[in-house]
């Protein structure tokens, strides 16, 4: 993957502040909020000085029963070409139901809903991603989402599900460490186990965001400071692989620019802590596995897959 560096989600409310940030290497923009023929002047200025812009889609619904809408795929492709983007991203989620495959009218959820981690759902998701990959002019990366619920009868852990997805389709992964924390609080899932099971060679970049807990439920608000547990998961990830890019998401309740810059600095420190830990483990073991991983870290089974849960 292209080395992206440190990034921030571009939003109109903080456009001026982002332009003045000295250490921002790239930005991500919500694809559906962008007109490719008339991009904001701020994005034009950022691109002119060499800042990479990545379109981030929210409406494809790759986890739905229907094939991806051709019009939405065309729109995402147009934005990638207009911005000269090295890749585009979307979510592992479904966002609508009903319509052609049922007798009920089509309903838009207005929210990213979790895909059941079953073999059948994985088959549908893989086919939808292949359709999207064929229609896009640049590589696609897909993001794990934050879930308030899990489906009954799930057959795979989050890490296993993502591993199978990347293995079968070659799709890149956008790993949101804040979403791993959300699923830890709300579903009791272990973020370290998820990271251990992921095909980290498929990592495109990483999302980091804040949220808040209320009555034992973690809300992925993108409107609060990044908490220490999320930074800890980021350090764990960085101890396993050097992320090509790390991006701070903030969608509302925007703080003053200095606070955003301090959050970016904290993210950079968390990545550096992870790298230091990896070096320390390598030195302690005194050998590597031959591909740059400390021995015993990030290893897979003989079949190339991470160990399975039993």
144 in Cβ contact with 198 (< 8 Å): no
pLDDT for the residue 227: 97
User: Tell me, what's the pLDDT at 101?
Assistant: 59
The confidence score (pLDDT) of residue 283 equals 75
Q: Copy the structure tokens of residue 104.
A: 């009920």
Cα distance between residue 152 and residue 137, in whole Å: 37
Burial 121-141 (b: 16+ CB within 10 A, else e): bbebbbebbbbbeeebebbbb
Residue 15 is predicted with a pLDDT of: 97
Q: What are phi and psi of 110, to 5 degrees?
A: 70, 20
Q: What pLDDT shows up at residue 105?
A: 64
Determine the pLDDT at residue 110.
Answer: 66
CA–CA distances in Å: residue 42 to residues 27, 49, 61 = 11, 11, 29
Give dist(CA 110, CA 95) in Å, integer. Answer: 7
Q: Please give the pLDDT value at position 271.
A: 98
Q: What are phi and psi of 46, to 5 degrees?
A: -65, -45
Can you list the residues of the chain whose pLDDT is less than 50? 290-310
Non-local CB neighbours of 256 within 8 Å, separated by 6+ positions: none
124 φ, ψ (degrees, to nearest 5): -65, -45
Contact present, 245 and 7 (Cβ < 8 Å): yes
Q: What pLDDT was estimated at residue 150?
A: 83
Q: What pTM did the predictor assign?
A: 0.88
Q: What is the 3-state secondary structure (H, E, C) of the chain?
A: CCCCEEEEECCHHHHHHHHHCCCCCEEEEEHHHCCCCCCCHHHHHHHHCCCEEEEECCCCCCCCCCCCCHHHHHHHHHHHHHHCCCCEEEECCEEEECCCCCCCCCEEEEEEECCCCCHHHHHHHHHHHHHHHHHCCCCEEEECCCCCCCCCCCCCCHHHHHHHHHHHHCCEEEEEHHHHHHHHHHHCCCHHHHHHHCCHHHEEEEEECCCEEECCEEECCCCCCCCHHHHHHHHHHHHHCCCCEEEECCCCCCCCHHHHHHHHHHHHHHHHHHHHHHHHHHHHHCCECCCCCECCCCCCCCCCCCCCCC
- Crossing angle (nearest 10°) for helices 119-135 and 158-169: 40
In order of their start, the domains of the chain are 5-285 (3.20.20.150)
Residue 128: its pLDDT value, please? 98
pLDDT of residue 103: 59
């Amino acid at each position: 993957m292209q080395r992206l560096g440190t990034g921030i989600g571009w939003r109109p409310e903080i456009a001026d502040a982002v332009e003045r940030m000295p250490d921002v290497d790239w930005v991500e923009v919500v694809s559906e909020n962008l007109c490719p023929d008339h991009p904001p002047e701020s994005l034009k200025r950022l691109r002119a000085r060499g800042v990479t812009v990545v379109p981030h889609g929210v409406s494809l619904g790759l986890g739905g029963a229907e094939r991806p809408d051709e019009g939405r795929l065309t729109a995402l492709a147009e934005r990638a070409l207009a911005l000269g983007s090295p890749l585009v991203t979307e979510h592992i989620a479904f966002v609508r139901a009903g319509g052609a495959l049922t007798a009920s009218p089509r309903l838009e959820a207005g929210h990213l809903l979790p895909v059941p981690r079953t073999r059948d759902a994985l088959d549908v998701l893989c086919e939808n991603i292949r359709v999207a990959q064929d229609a896009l002019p640049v590589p696609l990366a897909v993001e794990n989402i934050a879930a308030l619920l899990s489906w009954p009868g799930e057959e795979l852990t989050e890490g296993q599900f993502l591993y199978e997805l990347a293995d079968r389709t070659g799709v890149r992964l956008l790993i949101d460490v804040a979403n791993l924390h959300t699923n830890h609080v709300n579903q009791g899932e272990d973020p370290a186990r998820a990271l251990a099971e992921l095909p980290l060679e498929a990592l495109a970049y990483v999302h980091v965001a804040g949220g808040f807990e209320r009555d034992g439920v973690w809300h992925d608000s993108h409107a609060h400071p990044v908490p220490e547990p999320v930074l800890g998961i980021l350090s764990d990830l960085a101890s396993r692989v050097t992320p090509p890019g790390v991006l701070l998401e903030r969608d509302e309740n925007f703080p003053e620019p200095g606070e955003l810059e301090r959050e970016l600095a904290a993210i950079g420190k968390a990545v550096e802590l992870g790298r230091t830990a990896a070096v320390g483990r390598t030195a302690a073991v005194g050998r590597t596995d031959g591909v740059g991983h400390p021995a015993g870290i990030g290893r897979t089974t003989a079949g190339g897959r991470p160990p399975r849960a039993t």
